[in-house]
Amino acid sequence: MIMKKQFFYAALAIALMSSCSKDNDPGTTTDPTDPTVPEVIDDTTPAAIQLGIGNPTIIATRGTGSVGDLSTNNAANIWKGQALQILMVAQGTMTDAQDNGANIFAGETFTAPTGAGSGFIKFNTGNVKYYPMQGKFDFYGYHMDTDQAPIEDRNTVGSIIVTATIDGTNDIMAATTKFSSEDSIKLINNALTATGETYKYQVVANKTIERNDNNSAITDPANSADLTLLGTELAKAYSSYAARRGVQPTLIFKHLMSRLKFHVRAGEEKAGLDYYKANATAAHYFPTFAAGEIADGEYDASTTPTYDGEVEKTDGAVYIKSIKVTGQKSGISLTFTPAAGPVLAGTGEATAEFTLMERDKTETNTAKKLVALTPIAPANGPAGAATAIGESMMILSNESSFNIEIKVMQYVMTNDGQGTTEGAPTNPVYKWKVSSLKTTVNAPKTMPNPAYTDGSNGQPKSIPSTDKIGDNFIFAVGKSYNINVTVYGNQPIEVTAELTGWISGDDVEVNPEDDEFNKVNP
């Protein structure tokens, strides 16, 4: 009989943030708020719809896990040509925008930039779409890398509801548009030129909009007329009018789920691979796991650890065989409304199991679907860095805890070869032993301190978490968490028998003959 101990804990990682992007290009011919007012730029050429997007905050395609990284890691936080769905609706409604009686965006798929943090998205078909000559429009976007295409429901007035099924490998994102300071100065400067003014506005380092002749902010009382004019111009976006002035929608995609990144570390020296490598000798070899499909119980030759020799076998490091997050909702609904924007909710019973997967190590295309996890052991001892396990997992946010089931496996001696019964092995027998461990992971009570640098400024690395619903800490929307699993090796049960000496209880004399004479007649 073998005993096993193990524990886990969750540590909050830096939240994923979204950043802004480029915009650009033309529009159509009239003031959308007053069709009788002619444009002053070019009223003869149609205005193409050109959409920009900001940096991703972890994107994925068809269950490929998270792509991109934390917002602080600009080099890795990039788009990789993911498929996007864009909704174009009449402003203030959820009614699809139409031109000549047909929806402008009729179920078309768009493609994000490749290898860039921001840029323009393209129609997969290569089609070019144009703004209607009149009207203002809102734009929304979403990304669901699910196996089955999401379903858009327009049966509820004032909303568009998108439903899909998830399995933990899916990154769900949604986007709304955002005006930038650069958009504002394009509109105000064009309007000032039309009125004959010679000064212009510019964006300074802190994104403040200032006049270029006296450096006064547009919000200064002296510039109240210009601020009013800017408000009038902003009210005309998004439209052909705004597009002609270089103002096109920039969609800011944000994560709507929480990301879990699993790591394993050794709780004792013999649980990590380093111990066996350090103690390997010509006569002492250690097992290493050969990748392959593994089933519970007995393992075939293809999963037997590889030894350089048979002089002396040993137990091996502790491997993570699988990780499941249980009690999850696999149905989701993403509701778009003018007032609330995109809102994600889980649907159905919380009975699904999400299994941790990994990228195919032989596949260079990161858009390929994830594959089953190859068992992995901590590379280092207790003092070393933790080892990453598989790809990230995404779960619905705002929960205070989740249940987890981890299967660990270790190559251990199951018979010492010293048995005395007939037919007992005469040499030690080693086999894989699998143990199943269940626990609950609670949301962390701390979060990274944004003011922390390297500790030299006296700031603590962590501060109390503000991610709470009532008194309960939660796994928050758009945040990434490191789930660190600490493992220990199997411990054989050893029972020791100790012989203690007898203690004399003194002599007891018995004389049956005397007893017979001493009897008393009744």
**13-27, 326-340, 341-355, 402-416: least confidently modelled range:** 13-27
Quick one: CA dihedral 87, 91, 93, 98, positive or negative? negative
Task: Return the structure tokens found at 34.
Answer: 């007053």
**28-37, 164-173, 361-370, 457-466: least confidently modelled range:** 28-37
* pLDDT of amino acid 323: 94
**pLDDT of 272 higher than 90:** no
321 and 409 Cβ atoms separated by less than 8 Å: yes
* pLDDT of amino acid 57: 37
* pLDDT of amino acid 16: 22
Higher-pLDDT residue of 117, 156: 156
User: Which of 164, 172, 163, 116 minimizes the C-alpha distance to 141?
Assistant: 172
d(CA 474, CA 480): 12
* pLDDT of amino acid 493: 63
**284-298, 390-404, 483-497: least confidently modelled range:** 284-298
* pLDDT of amino acid 146: 82
Mean pLDDT, range 328-335, rounded to an integer: 97
The DSSP H or E segment spanning 175 is strand 172-177
Using 50, 70 and 90 to split pLDDT, how confident is the model at 314? low
User: Which of 305, 281, 302 minimizes the C-alpha distance to 293?
Assistant: 302
**pLDDT of 516 higher than 70:** no
* pLDDT of amino acid 45: 60
Ramachandran category for residue 167: left, alpha or beta (phi over 0 → left; psi -120 to 50 → alpha):
alpha
Mean pLDDT, range 456-478, rounded to an integer: 89
Residues in Cβ contact with 126 at an 8 Å cutoff, skipping those fewer than 6 apart = none
| AA identity, residue 343 | V
* pLDDT of amino acid 88: 93
* pLDDT of amino acid 361: 77
* pLDDT of amino acid 3: 38
**pLDDT of 368 higher than 80:** no
**pLDDT of 464 higher than 70:** yes
* pLDDT of amino acid 217: 94
CA dihedral defined by 120, 123, 127, 128, rounded to 10 degrees? -30
- At 186-242, the pLDDT tens digits run 999 999 999 999 999 999 987 899 999 999 999 999 999 999 999 999 999 999 999
**25-34, 240-249, 341-350, 505-514: least confidently modelled range:** 25-34
Average pLDDT, whole number, for the chain? 77
**pLDDT of 462 higher than 60:** yes
389 and 373 Cβ atoms separated by less than 8 Å: yes
Higher-pLDDT residue of 360, 520: 360
- Residue pointed to by tokens 């002035």: 245
| Greatest mean pLDDT range, 99-103, 324-328, 426-430 | 324-328
133 and 299 Cβ atoms separated by less than 8 Å: no
- At 403-431, the pLDDT tens digits run 999 998 887 777 777 777 887 777 777 77
**pLDDT of 36 higher than 50:** no
- Residue pointed to by tokens 């699809």: 96
**pLDDT of 164 higher than 60:** yes
d(CA 321, CA 325): 14
Higher-pLDDT residue of 277, 383: 383
* pLDDT of amino acid 60: 34
* pLDDT of amino acid 207: 83
